[in-house]
A and B are shown apart, each in its own frame.
Chain A
Amino acid sequence: MNTKPDDELLALWVEDELDAGTSAEVETWASTQPEWVERREQARWSRELLGSSLGGSDEVPHAEFFNARIRREIEARPESVSSAGGKIRRGPWVWFMPATAAAGMALGFFLGHDRSGGPAPIPPVSAELAPVLYTPERGVEAEFVGGDEATVIVLAGVEAIPDEWEIPETAMIEPEPSRMANHGEESEEQVR
């Protein structure tokens, strides 16, 4: 090849991505061009240095938790991937959808309109979130037991807590009824 090859071929030659035959053809021209020879040297050096020092794949910290969080997120919205290959089946009922939506909005407005003057009711929780248990320590297994009155997480395999370890005070302090009553009296006195 005595004429200049196109840019894409030259780029692939610089990156050593051409097959042997094409590479030899491009080489005939490029090897006489110091600028392109230099480019190829730079590319080889950069690939070697960066590729060996940085690494294309890193260990994701807490990899199991990484996957578990994604799983929880996507399982919370199963409708995201609802139809294989994105094919959506449409039926004749699709024509009623705008009218149904308009009727729904009107009904929603009517029900939501505050006629009593009282506080708006708190909507019920519609979905329960399944907890994701993650134990960073190997050999430790966690089990979730949820009941109406209590929620318990059992950790099996954790080292025993030494006796001398004192559990610091927690933020959960029961209010004392007498202090609250006194506080109320003080407030009343101040008002007076």
Chain B
Amino acid sequence: MNKSDPPTSNGSPEAGEEPADEELVLQAQAGDSAAYDALVTRHRGRIFAMIRQMVKNEADAWDLSQEVFIKAWKALPRFEVKAKFSTWLYRIAHNAVYDWARRKRPEAGGELNEEVFGSGSIDPASQTTPGTVRRPDEALRDDELRGKIEAALDQLSPQHREAVILKDVQGLAYKEIAEVMECSIGTVMSRLHYARQKLQTLLKDEYETR
């Protein structure tokens, strides 16, 4: 995990720390743009990472992340604070990514396929890779492994890839993934199972040396 952005995934503060998401959301709903700015700072890293892993292009991921936060602001009056703000953001991000894919390939008639999502590739040494100081040999090994994983994720269908990213990278619960992807818990379970099976086959060497 990168150290640049606050790693608060659930938005619940510890004693004496920053205010919780719920509190900031209420302030933002009352028109406090500074509170919303704090929410953006808190969640931008995770939303950007999720989108980037889906679209595999930093510039598009940056623009789409902007779109997510602007849409969220517009929809904020309708957001019910009893729901989890981060899950709601992932849901908006999910829609933004699929709308982007449709815009990119209008001739596909709204059908989403790997061609759209797999058209870019992330440079393993790009600016947004984890920014900790690493020894050159470690960096090379990590970048190689990261490249292998990215390539394996490319082989998955967009739905399978998203399920595995939300679960294994973003750490969402089954129920949250079902909410974000608008499907049943059973579907999430099945998508995760097939995604992991395929990853195991594609990353056989890594699986055997675990």
Which residues of A are at the interface with B, using a C-beta cutoff of 8 A?
A: 7-8, 11-12, 15, 17, 39, 42-43, 45-51, 53-61, 63, 66-67, 69-71, 73-75, 77-78, 80-86
B139 to chain A, nearest CB (A): 13
A84 touching B44, Cβ below 8 Å: no
User: Nearest 3 CB-CB pairs, A to B?
Assistant: A57-B45, A59-B4, A86-B77
Contact of B70 among A8, A47, A50, A70 (CB under 8 A): A70
The chain B residues found within 8 Å of chain A, CB to CB, are 1-2, 4-5, 7, 9, 26, 28-31, 33, 36-37, 40-41, 44-46, 48-49, 52-53, 58, 62, 65-66, 69-70, 73-74, 76-78, 127-131, 142, 145-146, 149, 164-165, 167-171, 173-174, 185-186, 188-189, 192-193, 196-197, 199-200, 203, 206-207, 210
Distance between Cα atoms of A117 and B63 in the complex (Å):
44
**What residues on B are CB-neighbors of A50 within 8 Å?**
149, 164-165, 168-169
Contact A74/B169 with A45-B210, A53-B142, A63-B4 known, Cβ cut-off 8 Å: no
Query: Complex Cα distance A56/B45, Å?
Result: 8
Task: Give CA–CA (A78, B32) in the complex, Å.
Answer: 10
A and B contact pairs by CB, cutoff 8 A, 21 listed:
A8-B185, A46-B164, A49-B210, A53-B145, A54-B49, A55-B2, A55-B130, A56-B1, A57-B5, A58-B45, A58-B52, A59-B2, A63-B5, A63-B44, A67-B40, A80-B77, A81-B31, A81-B73, A81-B77, A82-B31, A86-B77
Evaluate whether A81 and B29 lie within 8 angstroms (CB atoms) in the complex, with A43-B196, A50-B169 already known. Answer: yes
Additional 10 contacts, C-beta under 8 A, given A54-B53, A70-B70, A86-B78: A11-B185, A49-B203, A50-B149, A53-B149, A57-B1, A60-B45, A60-B62, A67-B37, A74-B36, A84-B26
CB distance from A11 to the nearest CB of B (A): 5
Say yes or no: A66 contacts B44, CB within 8 Å. Answer: yes
Query: What is the chain A residue whose CB lies nearest that of B73?
Result: A74
State the majority secondary structure of interface residues on A.
helix
Q: Assess A70 versus B170: contact at CB under 8 Å? Given A53-B142, A56-B9, A60-B65.
A: no
In the complex, which residue of chain A has the Cβ closest to the Cβ of B8? A57
CA distance A67 to B174 in the complex (A): 31
Chain B residues whose CB sits within 8 angstroms of the CB of A74 once the complex forms: 33, 36, 70, 73
Q: Which residue of B lies closest to A70 (CB)?
A: B69
B170/A60 in contact, CB under 8 A: no
Q: In the complex the two chains form, what is the Cα distance from A70 to B77 in whole Å?
A: 17
Chain B residue nearest in CB terms to A47: B168
Contacts of A48 in B (CB 8 A): 210
- Contact status A42-B197, CB under 8 Å: yes
- The residue from A51, A58, A60, A70 contacting B73, defined by CB atoms under 8 A apart: A70
Q: Is the CB of B169 within 8 A of A56?
A: yes
Is there contact, CB below 8 Å, between B1 and A55? yes
Q: In the complex, what distance in Å separates the CA atom of A187 from the CA atom of B49?
A: 60
CA distance A84 to B126 in the complex (A): 41
